[in-house]
Chain A
C-alpha cells in the first residue's frame, strides 16, 4: 500500500519537475519577446518628458502660469447633464510629467511583441502553477517545506501579482522584462542549487500556522519585489527627469529607455502604494510566525536570526512609511529606504538560510 502511494507520489513529483522546466523554457521565450518589445520600441522618438518639464519651467514664471488643471468637459450641450468634477493636480510641477507609452514606445511591432511576451508570461505562469500544484499533491501538503519549494512558489506568486495588476488594467507592462529576468534567475537557482526531492514534513512544521504564515510571507515577498522594481526604475527615471529639468541632455540610450517608462512621480506613487498596501499583511505574517513559534518552541519571540531579520525588515518598511507619511524624506531618500528594506527582506529570505547557521528555521527536525 505504501509503495503504491510512494510511486504515484514520485511520478507526480516527476511531473512537477517537468512542468517547472517547461515554465523556465517559456519564460525564456517571454524574456526574448520582452527584449524584442524594447528593441522595436526604441524606434519611436517620443520626447514628451522634456517638453513637459520645459513647459513646467515656464509655468514657474508667474506671468505664464498655466494652472495644472485637467478639465473634463461635460459631454455635449445637454443642459441637464450632471456637472463634471474638476481635478486639480496640486503636487509639484513634476506631477504633470506624462507617463511614457510603455516598452513598445508606441511602435506597432513592439506592441505586438509585448503582447506575445505577456501571453507567454501567462503560459509560463500556468506551467509553474501546475508545477507547484503537482509538487503539493506529491507531498500531500502545502509545497513550502524547503527552499526549493519556497522559490518555485515565490516566482509563481510574483508573476501572478504582475498578471493580476495587468488584468486590473494597471499600467505595469513595463515591468515585464525585469520581472521575468528575476524569475528566471530565481528558478535557475532553485533547480540547480536548492533542489530537494519531494518529501513530507518534519514534525516541527506540522501546524496550520504553516499555511498561514508561510503563504502570507511568500505573497508579501512577491509584492515587495514588485514595489522594489518600481522603486529602482523610479530612481533612474527621476535622475533622467532631473537632468532634463536642469537643462542637461541624457544619452540616447537613456532617453530611449526612460521616455517609455511612466513618469517618476507615477513610479514613486505606485511603489509606495504597493508597499503600503502589503505592510499590514507583513505585520500579520510576523505575528502569525510568533504565534506558531509559541506553539512549536514554547516562546513566541526568541531573537532567532530569522525572527530578528523579519523584525529588521518590518522596522525598515515602517521607516519608509514614516518617511513618506510625514517626515519630509520624500522622493529619492525614501526610495533608498524602500530599497534598503527590500534588501533586508532578501537577506532574510536567502541570506539567513544560507549564511547564518543555527537558525531554528533550518527545518532540520525537532532541534
Chain B
C-alpha cells in the first residue's frame, strides 16, 4: 500500500490547491507507528520514568486508535461481524425459539456445555458478538469525526486553484479566443456559477467545484448507522414483550400479573407499562373452502373493545395479523388462535363444580387440539372427601376419524366438533410449586376412572353430550357452546421511530454517496505570446468517469459561446497546445510510476485520498465507458 502513503513533508506546500476531493482517510504507512518506540530516551530518575511511561502510553494509545480507525480495520471488522452472525442463524437461539434450544440441549449433550460456554444460544447478545460491533462502531465514530471537521473545512474554504499543468487532467481542452483573459474568466465564472458550481478566480484561472453532497451523503450515512444502532440498543434495553391468551368474552388489563408470560429488557421497569385494557368480543377466522390448499387460513380477525388509561372511554378495533392495536408506544398483535369448548363438571349430587370455556392448544394445521380440564376445588367424591378432578382432552373442530375412532381434524373450522375426554381423580399437583402446563395433566398423583371392564374410561362427546363418571362420581358435559380464543402479544419497544429515521437517512445518504460525483473544473485564460488569449479548461473527478468529460464538454460549449475561437489564428503549436498533441507526459519526466505518479497533481502530496485515479468508484450507473469501450 505504499502508493497510498501521505507525505507529511508536503504539508507546508500549497495545501489549498491540493485539498482532497474526498475526506476518505488515507492509509497510514505504518512507519509512524513502530511499536514501542515513540521517540525520546528514558531520562534517569523518577521524573524520567514518568515522562517515558506517559510517552509510551500515549504513543500506544494513539497507535491503537489509528489502527482501530483505519479503513483496513473497519473492513476486517465488517467481515468479522458478518462471520459472527452466522452461527446464530444455524444454532437455535433463546431469543428466537427457546423450545428449540431445550430440544437441542436434550439431544446434543456433548455439544451443549461447549455451546453454553461460547454463548452460542445467545449469539446476538454474547460478549464476542457485542465486542465486534462495539469496536466497529467506535471505529466508525473515530472515522466520522475527523472527516466531518475536514469536510466543514472544505465547505468553509474555497475550491483550490488550478494546477500548473491543466493538460494532465483526465479531461482537457484548449482554444484561442479574441477576448481579453479577464473577460473570459468573467464569462467562465458566470457559466460555472449558473451550473451551481462553487467558483472563484485564483490568479489567472477560475477554480470551481461541485458535488459536495457526495461527502455529506457519506457522512450522513455513517452517522445514520450510529443512530440506528443506538436506537436498536435502546429499544432492546427498555422493551417489554408478553403474551396473553384470551377467550371470547374475556379481557386483559396491561399489568404484569395479567400476562401469561413476559420478557423485558434489562432497564425496563413495570412503571413503563402503558395503562390500558381490552376485551375480546369476537374472533373470526375464514379458511380456504376448496382447492388444493383447502383449510389454509384466509383471514383472522379479532374484534376488540379497548380503553386507554385506567378508565378511558370504550373504543372498538378489529385486529388482524398485520394490523395491531396501537396504544401509545405499545402494540397488541394477534399471534395465534384456537378453540375453547365450554365444559361443565358436576359432582355426584348433580351440583355444578366447574363450568367454563377451556382453551385447547392446537397441534396441527386443522386445529386438532389438546387440553386439560382441571377442577381444583369445590368437588367432593361420593365418599364426601375433597378431591381434585382432571380430564385430559382432545378436541377436533371437524372430526375425521369416523369409524376408526382416532381423533384428528380434517378442517380448521367448526363443522363437526368432537371432544374426547378421559378422567382422573386425586391430586393435580398444582400446589407443589412447580410451574404447570395448563394444557397438560400431571397424572403422577392421580388415578384414572375405569369402566366396568376395568379399562380406561374415555369417551368421545358430541356437543351437548355428557360422560358419567363411574360409581356416582359425577359427570362431565361438552356444552353446545364452543368459544374461540386468541393469543395476543403485547409489545413495547421504544425508539422505533429513531431507528426508522436513521434507516431513511441511511438510504438517502447512501444514494448521495454512491451516485453523486465530486468534481473540479478549472478555466485558465492567459495571453499567449502573440497576444491572442489562450483558454484552457480541465476537469477532475474522484474517479475516471464517463460523465466528467461529457459535463466538461457542455461547460466548454457554454464558455466557448461567450469566448469563441479566434478566427484564423496563426497556427502556433507551441503557444497553444492543440488537442492532438496536448498531454505529453515526457515533458514532466517519466510517467511510469503507477497510477499515482500521473495523478491529477503530480507535484506535492497526493491530494485525492488513497488512489483517486484508478478508482472507478464513482459512477455506479453502468455507463458506456464501463462496458462499451
Contacts and interface: CB of A to CB of B under 8 A. Distances in A.
Interface of A: 2-3, 6, 10, 59-62, 65, 67, 69, 71-74, 79-92, 95, 98-99, 165, 169-172, 197, 199-200, 202-204, 206-207, 209, 262-263, 266-270, 272-277, 279-280, 283-284, 287, 290-292, 294-305, 308-309, 311-312, 315-316, 318-319, 321-330, 344, 352, 356, 358, 365-367
Contacts of B172: 85-86, 88
Given A85-B171, A85-B556, A88-B172, A65 B591 contact: yes
B90 A299 contact: no
15 contacts: A65-B585, A71-B579, A73-B579, A91-B614, A171-B627, A266-B626, A269-B626, A272-B616, A298-B489, A305-B90, A308-B88, A326-B610, A329-B75, A330-B615, A367-B335
Given A269-B627, A273-B626, A312-B86, A83 B79 contact: no
Given A273-B620, A280-B511, A366-B335, A88 B627 contact: no
B513 to A, nearest CB: 9
B85 A83 contact: no
B622 A270 contact: yes
B623 A273 contact: yes
B564 interface: yes
Nearest to B582: A86
A298 B331 contact: yes
Contacts, number: 305
A88 B489 contact: no
Contact of B322 (A204, A290, A309, A352): A204
A85 B553 contact: yes
Given A86-B582, A88-B583, A276 B78 contact: no
Interface stretch (B32-40, B92-100, B252-260): B92-100
Interface in B74-126: 74-75, 78-79, 81-82, 85-86, 88-90, 92-93, 95-97, 100, 123-124
Given A62-B591, A82-B560, A273-B622, A197 B75 contact: no
Contacts of A165: 622
Contact of B78 (A84, A170, A319): A319
A54 B496 CA distance: 60
A199 B293 contact: yes
B95 A303 contact: yes
B78 A88 contact: no
A283 B544 contact: no
A203 to B, nearest CB: 4
B552 A85 contact: yes
Interface of B: 1, 4, 24-25, 27, 71-72, 74-75, 78-79, 81-82, 85-86, 88-90, 92-93, 95-97, 100, 123-124, 167-175, 232, 241, 288-293, 296-300, 320-324, 331, 333-337, 365, 489, 491, 493, 496, 499-500, 503-504, 506-507, 510-511, 514-515, 544, 549, 552-553, 556-557, 560, 564-565, 567-568, 579-580, 582-586, 589-592, 594-595, 598-600, 609-611, 613-617, 619-629
A170 B75 contact: no
A323 B610 CA distance: 12
Nearest to A277: B620
A291 B620 contact: no
A79 B592 contact: no
A309 B291 contact: no
Contacts of A322: 71, 74-75, 78
A95 B614 contact: yes
Contacts of A99: 627-629
A113 B78 CA distance: 46
- Judged by DSSP, the binding face of B is mixed
B321 to A, nearest CB: 4
A200 to B, nearest CB: 7
Given A84-B579, A298-B491, A330-B614, 19 more contacts: A61-B592, A82-B557, A86-B583, A87-B170, A90-B170, A91-B614, A202-B296, A204-B322, A207-B322, A266-B626, A266-B627, A273-B616, A298-B331, A303-B89, A303-B93, A308-B89, A315-B79, A319-B78, A326-B610
Contacts of B510: 279-280, 283
Given A79-B565, A82-B557, A291 B491 contact: no
Nearest to B589: A62
A90 B598 contact: yes
Nearest to A308: B89
B560 A328 contact: no
A80 to B, nearest CB: 6
Contacts of B626: 170, 266, 269-270, 273
A86 B324 contact: no
Given A59-B592, A199-B291, A203-B298, A366 B629 contact: no
B111 to A, nearest CB: 17
Contacts of A69: 582-583
A342 B556 CA distance: 42
A303 B590 CA distance: 56
